[in-house]
Amino acid sequence: EQIEKGGYKHFMLKEIMDQPNAMRNCLRGRIYQPAEAPDRWEIKLGGLEKAKEGALNPQSPLERMANACRFIFAACGTSWHSGLIGKYAFEKLAGVRAEVEYASEFRYRKPLICDSDCLIAISQSGETADTLEAIKMAKEHKALTIGVVNVVGSSIARETDCGMYLHAGPEIGVASTKAFTCQVIALLLMALRLGKQRGALSEEMLNMYCAALNAVPDSIEKWMSSLTEQTQVISKNLRLATNALFSGMGVHFPVALEGALKLKEISYIHAEGFPASEIRHGGITLIRNFVPVICIAMRSDPAYEQIKQMVRDFRHKGAALLVLTDDGNTDFAGVAHFTLCCPATKLEMQPLISCIPLQLLSYHIADMRGCSIDQPRNLAKSVTVE
Ligand code: G6P
């Protein structure tokens, strides 16, 4: 087991640090600059090109996706958070309606599904029972089903009409890390591919987004080595908390949810994620002296000025304030107790970067609290019971 951990204390830490490689594997062969036109970017998603042998509808999945009137992301846990990032990306980059559903909620009601819908099932394990049932329901209504799965040959991979494997490598730690970032990559690739096909993105925009996405693994790799020490220092200060709040706006709302889930899962600290502004409608009562509030505030966020104002207000109320922002931003000096800076990229890609310090923060806090990090109590790697 020590050998498999590659010198790291836990699988989770190994998997966090492995993210640049995992992301590269997820991108490999799917995003490239053609030799004959090296200033252009192409996206090729082989698993979506052809219908499976014997499929009821022989039309190419990509064609069906291009004409779809709605995408439904169905998932559980961390995978649901990547679905929410996917929804924002599909709306913005592909100009198509998208909804995200907890697979369990979806399957136990009577959702309206039609044959021009596409259901994207997101699952690391490919075995989550509720997600599998959501797929079966969508198939009964003749919707196209697409799997975004890490485990090759898993039930969800087999049950869906087509899909994309993450190629993130085995994820042993129960709390998902590298599978999450690779799910986001897969969904961004799909959104960009569709954006091109549906005419929602100009050639120029597509090239810009592709170049940004392709550069993410390298920029993370360079920055991660400095992150360990910084997150350890902050963790030491926050490790005794009993409650923590995470806030983020737009694409950073799912990152806030994921940050809170990670902390809850492995450190057993109660944590909640909020859309930045929504915290004023309830969560704010929880803010008092020494309660950690983790705010994601990137200068590219659409309502950055409002977020900045809120951060000042949280400080005023006594929060132990950690602000996650982009490199070179000094707006929070003297306001936040702690600041963590991330390399900046296009807003749609930023969650791939901004989630990493939050993963490390949870990891170090849990480690300092002596928690069973790779196998948290009561939590299963895949929930196959209904
Ligand atoms: C469990 C795991 C989570 C995971 C969720 C969904 O709750 O502990 O880490 O996010 O299941 O699993 P899936 O394999 O479908 O992504």
Supply φ then ψ for residue 4, to 5 degrees. Answer: -65, -30
What is the spatial distance between Cα 332 and Cα 325, in angstroms, rounded to a whole number? 9
What is the spatial distance between Cα 341 and Cα 239, in angstroms, rounded to a whole number? 20
What is the spatial distance between Cα 29 and Cα 25, in angstroms, rounded to a whole number? 9
Instruction: Please identify, by atom number, the ligand 1 atom nearest to the C-alpha of residue 79.
Output: 16
The alpha carbon torsion through 327, 303, 279, 187 (nearest 10 deg) reads: -70
Residues touching ligand 1 (Cβ under 6 Å) are 76-79, 123-125, 128, 131, 174-176, 379, 381-383
Q: Which residue do the tokens 């090239």 mark?
A: 207
Q: What is the pLDDT along the chain (386 residues), one digit of tens a residue?
A: 777 888 899 999 999 999 999 999 999 999 999 999 989 999 999 999 998 877 778 899 999 999 999 999 999 999 999 999 999 999 999 999 999 999 999 999 989 999 999 999 999 999 999 999 999 999 999 999 999 999 999 999 999 999 999 999 999 999 999 999 999 999 999 999 999 999 999 999 999 999 999 999 999 998 998 899 999 999 999 999 999 999 999 999 999 999 999 999 999 999 999 998 888 898 888 888 889 999 999 999 999 999 999 999 999 999 999 999 999 999 999 999 999 999 999 999 999 999 999 999 999 999 999 999 999 888 888 888 87
Question: Structure tokens of 181?
Answer: 């970032």
Q: What pLDDT shows up at residue 333? A: 93
243-248 and 162-165 strand pairing:
unpaired
Output the CA 176–ligand 1 centroid distance in Å.
7
Output the CA 342–ligand 1 centroid distance in Å.
26
Q: What pLDDT shows up at residue 4? A: 87
Residues 6 or more apart whose Cβ sits within 8 Å of residue 182: 22, 23, 25, 26, 150, 166, 167, 168
What is the spatial distance between Cα 314 and Cα 291, in angstroms, rounded to a whole number? 10
Q: What pLDDT shows up at residue 225? A: 87
Query: Measuring CA to CA, which residue among 145, 67, 72 is closest to residue 102?
Result: 72
Output the CA 71–ligand 1 centroid distance in Å.
21
Output the CA 180–ligand 1 centroid distance in Å.
10
What is the spatial distance between Cα 273 and Cα 78, in angstroms, rounded to a whole number? 13
Q: What pLDDT shows up at residue 380? A: 86
